[in-house]
Amino acid sequence: MLLSPLARARVKVARTLADAIRSSKGFSARLVGWRARSVEGCTVDPDVALMLALDDLMKSSDLRRFAPPEARARLAESVCMVEIPRLEGVAVSDVRLRGDAGPIPARKYVPEGLAAPSPCVVFYHGGGFVTGDLDTHDTFCRQLAVEGHVRVIAVDYRLAPEHRFPAAVDDGVAAFRDVAARAADFGVDPARIAVMGDSAGGNLSAVVSLKTRGETHRPALQVLLYPALDATCAHRSHAVFANGWMLTKGMIDWYYEHYLGPDPATRRNVDASPLLAPSVEGAPPALVFTAGFDPLRDEGVAYVERLTAAGVPARHACHESMIHGFVLTGGVAPACREETSRIVREASAALRDGFS
């Protein structure tokens, strides 16, 4: 989503204000306040804590007062305030993937010097199934392509409430199948295609991985970044981090109400809550990355436990000083940039060299 002139002006003002506050160490410390304290033995990164304090002032992460179209525009602004500069050295082009409901917009990233056929990541963006798009995650996808030295195909699946569940699932599965079926056209090695996503995109990656079990072409790897895996929100971390850490209970409910509708039973549908699937046997190997200060943290932990118990190779890393969404915030918190690069390297190595 391209920003309007007014939105660009707001981004500039917000960045200037944030820089001024950061330069005043005493004022910054007062703003951080209670977030400097340990929670369950962990302390949030200082730069992240300041970002959260500034969000308290600007209220930029609480989208509930907006209709979905405006919420999407506001999220795009927020991402521009905190993301790293776009990396060079990657060719970017728009493509169309085949879907049952019509063509699915997508964006292909090919880093310089990468010969075909190559490993590929099919990427599903986060945003609660309501917000987010190819532009909000463009900078991350460039980083993934350049630092991971892989092709990336980012999927612009349909969003709720205009297209409720299971539209995003249908698009996610169709997009993976089309990339695999046309691997040669995309310069992709069909045996080395991973699915990857953050938050809602992590949900779709897990669902695609389960729904394609037994097919000729299935993901070689699933990479889940602080994924949403259980829409019943019953895990302890939902209570511990319900407020104050960017993604709140109120926002989670807002997202799910738009995506799943009013029927509580839909939250237990396995295509909405893959953690509740009767069986996860036969799923592809998994890398699951969670954040220490995230209401979704325990869902990722529980999913790794289920995969491991079912004999699926799986590794989990909790980035203890991070919050939900940290892979998009490296522009204001160096630790977020470092942790994101570490994730990219690990995912690339597992896809390129095999899971071990």
What confidence tens digit (pLDDT) does each residue in 231-281 have? Answer: 999 999 999 999 999 999 999 999 999 999 999 999 999 999 999 999 999
Residue 227, domain extent: 90-353
**How many residues make up the chain in this entry?**
356
Q: What is the CATH number of the domain that holds 99?
A: 3.40.50.1820
On whether residue 52 sits in a domain, the answer given is no
Task: Give the residue, 8 or 297, on which the prediction is more confident.
Answer: 297
Angle, CA 11 vertex, CA 154 and CA 297 arms, to 5° = 50
Q: Tell me what the mean pLDDT of segment 218-240 comes to.
A: 98
- Using the structure block, give the residue that is written with the tokens 């699926």: 312
Q: What is the percentage of the chain residues whose pLDDT exceeds 70?
A: 95
Euclidean distance between CA atoms 324 and 327, whole angstroms: 8
Please answer whether residues 336 and 326 qualify as being in contact, where contact means their C-beta atoms are separated by less than 8 angstroms: yes
In a domain, 156, yes or no: yes
Closest CA to 201 of 278, 262, 289: 289
Integer distance in angstroms from the first to the last C-alpha of the chain? 38
* Nearest alpha-carbon partner for 175 in 196, 160, 199, 192: 196
Rounded average pLDDT over 73-95: 95
Q: Taking 80 as the threshold, does the pLDDT of residue 1 lie above it? A: no
Instruction: Confirm whether 25 is domain-assigned.
Output: no
Tell me whether residue 159 is in a domain.
Answer: yes
Q: What is the number of domains present in the chain? A: 1
| Residue whose C-alpha is closest to residue 223's, from 205, 200, 210, 211 | 205
Q: Residue 347 has what pLDDT?
A: 98
Nearest residue to 56 (alpha-carbon basis) of 25, 80, 31, 75: 31
| 31 belongs to a structural domain | no
Q: Is residue 173 part of a domain?
A: yes
pLDDT, tens only, 310-339: 999 999 999 999 999 999 999 999 999 999
pLDDT band at 170 (very low <50, low <70, confident <90, very high): very high
Residue positions annotated with a catalytic role = 199, 294, 324
pLDDT at 6: 73
Which pLDDT band, with edges at 50, 70 and 90, does 16 fall under?
A: confident
Cα angle 39, 343, 12 (rounded to 5 degrees) comes to 75
Secondary structure string (H, E, C) spanning the chain:
CCCCHHHHHHHHHHHHHHHHHHHCHHHHHHHHHHHHCCECCECCCHHHHHHHHHHHHHCCCCCCCCCHHHHHHHHHHHHHHHCCCCCCCEEEEEEEECCCCCCEEEEEEEECCCCCCEEEEEEECCCCCCCCCCCCCHHHHHHHHHHHCCEEEEECCCCCCCCCCCHHHHHHHHHHHHHHHCHHHHCEEEEEEEEEEECHHHHHHHHHHHHCCCCCCCCCEEEEECCCCCCCCCCHHHHHCCCCCCCCHHHHHHHHHHHHCCCHHHHHCCCCCHHHCCCCCCCCCEEEEEEEECCCHHHHHHHHHHHHHCCCCEEEEEEEEEECCHHHCCCCCHHHHHHHHHHHHHHHHHHHHCCC
| Position 43 in a domain | no
Q: What is the pTM of this model?
A: 0.95
Query: Is residue 346 in a domain?
Result: yes
